[in-house]
Structure 1
Amino acid sequence: MTAVTDQDHTEHADQPGDGGKAGSAGGSAGSSSAQPFQAAQNGSHARVQDDRTDSTGAWDDGLIARRVNETTDGSQFAPADSRSAAPPAMRPLVYDGALRSRLEALRELVGLSRTRLDSRTLAEAGRVLDEASARRRLSGQHTVVAIAGATGSGKSQLFNALAGVAISETGVRRPTTAAPIACSWSDGAASLIERLGIPPRLRRRPLPTGDAESRLHGLVLIDLPDHDSAAVQHREHVDRILALVDAVIWVVDPEKYADAVLHERYLRPMAAHAEIMFVVLNQIDRLPGEAADQVLDDLRRLLDEDGIALGEYGEPGTTVLPVSALTGEGIGDLREALGQFVGERGAPARRVAADVDVAAARLWPVYATRRRTGLSEQAREEFADRLADAVGATAAGEAAERAWLRNANRACGTPWLRLWRWYQDHGEPTTGRLPSRTQADEEATARQRVEQAVRTVADRASAGLPVPWAQAVREAATRGSQGLPEALDELTVRAGVPTGRPPRPGWWPMAVFSQASMTILQFLGGLWLLGQIFQIMSPNLGVPVLLMVIGIVGGPLIEWSCRMAARGPARRYGLEAERRLRKAAAGCGRARVLDPVAAELLRYLEVREQYGRVVGAGR
């Protein structure tokens, strides 16, 4: 019987998520069975103590062990009681700087996105982080490799051939492998196997073979149940463990190497894990002549269609080998390739990197965009203009200009024209005038303009953003728009047309004095003429008429001159009133709408930068 070594148990780790390169179609198939995986792990963890030892201190290998005892010499492999041996020192896994940076960026990305994305979207990234952390705490000197295949592919036979002893049961009955079996080529792998939920009674050690065993030092080989088994529990074992191991050996046979289930459910979603996968064409002894090469070429073609990079001509990728577990043909090549793969000690980190790639690829729609995003200065100015129109900034400026001109006319106009204008303003009947809009109508129109301005700026700010962030921008704008019309109304009252008389320029006193002089000349000329009529003064028509003509002509002329001179100051006064109102409306809109929108855009830029680090931009 095979020698068995007791292995220490560590705390059960959570299962990791899928992985893959950005641009792959999806992640590992194990991600869809996260809850069944966890339940299976908990169940196997609870059975560890019951199955650990029998009354003699040696582990009972169960049905498989008894069948092996019936066909082998029991004295050849004696059970080993490892309680007397001290456990070897275990060195944890160390990630390189690039991978650590990507994991830190992914953790930061998840943290920044929790309030913007739903938990289901971030679940995969969270699982990757958890499993990367769990794997890092375990042995870095061991590589866990699973052997997976369909019913009848001969994977258990290949497992036995690599171990050098009949550990996993083989036979005609299907399915033969009902539970995963672990075989470790060195001590210190107990925590890794415990993480897979494999109980001690299903853990083995290979037959000592000297140099062959030393080449595979650090290998932990897992024989999985058939992935196409009719038993649901078997498929759950496969999916769960495939999400946790460092590498996978896919065993196919000449009959099922093109099986759609294998390619669509496993190989194609795991295309990003090409560097940690082996594809072995077993049973080549059944193919006559050049048929083995033809099937192997067709298998490579199918893998290429799945998006799996093949490690040919020294390039990194999946290793494809033909073997016969029955005759031993190709087993040496597989053992050599596996020994080199394990000796590099890089599979765990490559698996984690591939998992990060797949998580990043699945997050692409919620982070990445090929369009330029943000709020342009033109959009900001247009938003301010819309708010200014809503509060009537232009009309307020025009009203201020008219007020300035009216004040100028009052100060510089002739008394007769002012009296005539007063009579027109108060004596004209109101019949026939168009009714002005009520204040309620004006407020409703202003509110609609404000709402339209907010919708427009929100649409422009969110254009090109991924859906969650575009929605966050629009929600921020909507929240800011609440109470904005009322706030603008208050600003209009405070910063609108100033009450009281507008200021006067320095030349106005001279204009008023000149107008008063013209009026006085008219009165003097008129009194002079009256004096001549009543014979109080000597007859002289020329001088009083001249005085009256000067007063009558000079008054309007001075008024016209003052009006021309007042246009510039009145226009500047109106523009200043309009500018103040525009500035106040723009400040209110910026504080309530633009600043929250800009904060959301800044958060998106921050998470997009972190996402760029996750996908390894520039590496």
Structure 2
Amino acid sequence: MTSLLEGAKKLVTRGTDIGARIEGLDAATYAARGRLDDSVVDHAQAVIDRATGRLRLSATHTVVAIGGATGSGKSSTFNALTGLELSAVGVRRPTTSWASACVWGRDGAEELLEWLGIPPRHQTTRDSMLDSGRRGADSELDGVVLLDLPDHDSTEVAHHLEVDRLVGLADLLVWVLDPQKYADAAIHDRYLAPSADHQDVMLVVLNHIDTVPEERRQSMLDDVRRLLDADGLDRVPVLPVSARQGIGIAELRAEIARRAAEKQSTRARIDADVRAAALQMSEAAGDAPTRVLSPERVSALDEAFAEAAGVPTIVDAVERSTRMRIGRATAWPVVGWLSGIKPDPLRHLDLDLGADGRQLTGKGRSSAPQVAQVQRARVDTEVRTLADDVSSGLATPWVEAVQRASVSRLDELGDRLDAALASAAIEAGRLPFWAGLVRVVQWLLVLASLAGLVWTGVLAGSGKLQDADTPQVAGVALALVLLVGGIVLGLVLGLVCRLLVARTARARADEADHRLRGAVAEVSHELVVDQVEIELAAYTAVRNGLSRALA
């Protein structure tokens, strides 16, 4: 890329950074691969490759290609410009089988000719000793690489391919028309009209002007002008010449020399290529504004995934299990023993909190509630709604890309939800610190009550329950105080603990809900949201890249 930028700096004019344009198109092409039509992306990549290849080569040479139909005088024009009989001339059949090149100023042109694919046997250096008319280094065509292309209407397929290849590589195109066939659809439909974006690097020559009566020449030129305007080539000059008589050759040579001297044709050609490819890709990509997923739509998707994972059911079971576990530990021991008969709600779901009460574990796919048909239908609906919502207004290829990405990993839903639930650390089964203290107090109250019961029985049996010598508290026998007080305080403590247990269970359930939903949200993002956002990011990259390419 360094050589690309160095080459581009030599061609930057009027604030136009060719390197930045190419990089923009390259970024758009990379992001569009696999999303837009392959033919569009491949064409853009070919433009990038040609542009970077050209920028690495000589910036002092201008490649001028002369093209035309059989009998148009294309090769005669080439010979007239070079001053040498380098190309065979024919009227009735194609005589130019392969492109020939004439170079003014060989220094630095070897790599350029190699890039153009012109074999050495078809190359001529104009300032060699073959050129007896050379005027030293002051030749007006210094830096020109003039190409004589095969006839574009040749019956040989190889000729068509060679013309198309070199037309795509030339810096300046000179199309030679014949007075009898200048309206031929073959050249207008195949080469001229499709090149409207390249008209600043084109010239049109009406050859054999000597065969047209003088009084008809201007009207014929006007007709050619009309046809070019209809092709969208309103800025392309039309030059009347006669290669045989030498009419207009000096003017044509001067125009080519002027453009070569300005060193603008290479830049203009690359600009036109990049712009045309960017416009084609822009048309395929659409011009809808870039967008991101709305938080509301993502939240709705997360909720659907949470329901599919059975999070509400698990959270409810966690709350009831926590209430049961802590309640059993803090209740009046007799009540706790009775509550131990009830099954744990989590075990009913074939789930367990593990030895430390912090991790959901189970036995395979049955560990969590299965993804029911209704819940899976809701997931599918939310995924489809999310894709439709975010892709609304985009061009068809991007709508299809977003929809395809949104469901690309949904087959992993069940396994990924299981793994997410198993990885969520929740503290539902761990007893709070105060539960141990309450348990100690409850047992002390039980022992006090039992001691009071036994003592009361002994006193009542000996008739000393009301005896003044019996230990008393506020006039009541201490034995009765222990018995009644132990029971009453145990019941009161049990009621207080029930409130604390309910509060703790709710808090643990809320924490479990938060952690489980967070784990499930990671799954929804990995399977759907991230996939969609990749497509949206690609669309943004395409739009931004094309904006740079068209700047």
Aligned partner of 1:398 in structure 2 is 316
Correspondence list, 1:255-270, <5 A: 255-270=180-195
1:380-529 aligned at under 5 Å gives the runs 380-403=298-321, 445-446=370-371, 449=375, 453=379, 456-457=382-383, 460=386, 463=391, 464=394, 466=398, 470=402, 473-474=405-406, 477=409, 481=413, 483-491=415-423, 495=425, 498-499=428-429
Taking the aligned partners of 1:380 and 1:446, their CA distance within structure 2 comes to 20
Distance in 1 of aligned mates of 2:307 and 2:366:
15
**Secondary structure of 1:396 counterpart:** helix
Counterpart code for 2:146: L
Q: 1:612 to 1:120 in 2, by over 3 A?
A: closer
- From the superposition, tell whether residues 503 and 382 of structure 1 become closer, same or farther in structure 2 (CA, over 3 Å): farther
Supply the distance in 2 between the matched residues of 1:385 and 1:356 (Cα, whole angstroms): 46
1:67-146, aligned counterparts within 5 Å?
94-96=10-12, 98-105=17-24, 123-146=42-65
How far apart, CA to CA, are the structure 2 residues paired with 1:159 and 1:561?
107
Q: Percent identity?
A: 31
Shift of the alpha carbon at 1:143? 1.6
- Deviations 1:314-346 (CA, angstroms, capped at 9, x unpaired): xxxx33333344555444433332221111122
Alignment of 1:202-281 (within 5 A): 203=124, 205=126, 208=133, 214-281=139-206
Assess if the C-alpha contact under 8 Å between 2:330 and 2:435 holds in 1: no
Find the partner of 1:302 among 227, 230, 243: 230
Structure 1 residue 574 corresponds to structure 2 residue 509: yes
Where do 1:46-65 residues align within 5 Å? none
Query: In 2, are the aligned partners of 1:459 and 1:474 still within 8 Å (CA)?
Result: no
Kindly indicate whether the alpha-carbon contact (under 8 Å) linking 1:183 and 1:220 is maintained by their aligned counterparts in 2: yes
Which residue number corresponds to residue 158 of structure 1?
77
Q: Distance in 1 between matches of 2:247 and 2:11?
A: 37
Q: How far is the alpha carbon of 1:248 from its aligned partner?
A: 0.8
Query: Counterpart of 2:542?
Result: 608
Q: Is the 8 A contact 1:180 1:202 kept in 2?
A: no
Whether 2:118 is the aligned partner of 1:197: answer: yes
Distance 1:197 1:297, change over 3 A: closer
Are the equivalent residues in 2 in contact too, given 1:403–1:502 (CA < 8 A)? no
Select which of 267, 279, 283 maps to 1:349: 267
Residue number in structure 1 paired with 2:288:
370
How far apart are the structure 1 equivalents of 2:327 and 2:415?
A: 41
The amino acid that maps onto 1:173 is R
Provide Cα deviations, 1:331-371, integer angstroms capped at 9, x if missing partner: 44333322211111222232233333344345447877624
Take 1:503 and 1:163, find their aligned partners in 2: how far apart are those partners? Answer: 101
Cα distance change on mapping 1:479 and 1:248 into 2, 3 Å: farther
Q: In 2, distance between residues paired with 1:92 and 1:301?
A: 32
Distance 2:414 2:272 in 1: 46
Unpaired stretches in structure 1, ≥5 consecutive residues: 1-90, 312-317, 427-435, 539-552
* TM-score, reference length from structure 2: 0.67
Taking the aligned partners of 1:116 and 1:297, their CA distance within structure 2 comes to 41
Q: How big is each residue's C-alpha offset from its partner over 1:542-578, in whole Å with a ceiling of 9 and x where there is no partner?
A: xxxxxxxxxxx99999999987887655544432332
Report the Cα offset of residue 373 of structure 1.
Answer: 3.8
SS, match of residue 270 in structure 1: helix
CA distance in 2, matches of 1:444, 1:265: 65
State the Cα distance separating 1:155 from its structure 2 match.
2.1
Q: Residues 581 and 398 from structure 1, CA distance in 2 versus in 1: closer, same or farther, beyond 3 angstroms?
A: same
Corresponding residue for residue 520 of structure 2:
585
Structure-2 separation of matches of 1:579 and 1:204: 79
1:611, CA displacement in angstroms?
2.3
RMSD (Å), alpha carbons: 5.6
In structure 2, how many angstroms separate the alpha carbons of the residues matched to 1:418 and 1:192? 94
Q: Which residue of 2 aligns with 1:26?
A: none
The answer as to whether partners of 1:257 and 1:299 remain within 8 angstroms in 2 is no
Equivalent pairs, count: 497
Q: Given the alignment of the two structures, is residue 322 of structure 1 paired with residue 240 of structure 2, yes or no? A: yes
**Change beyond 3 A, Cα 1:135–1:486:** same
1:597 deviates by 3.4
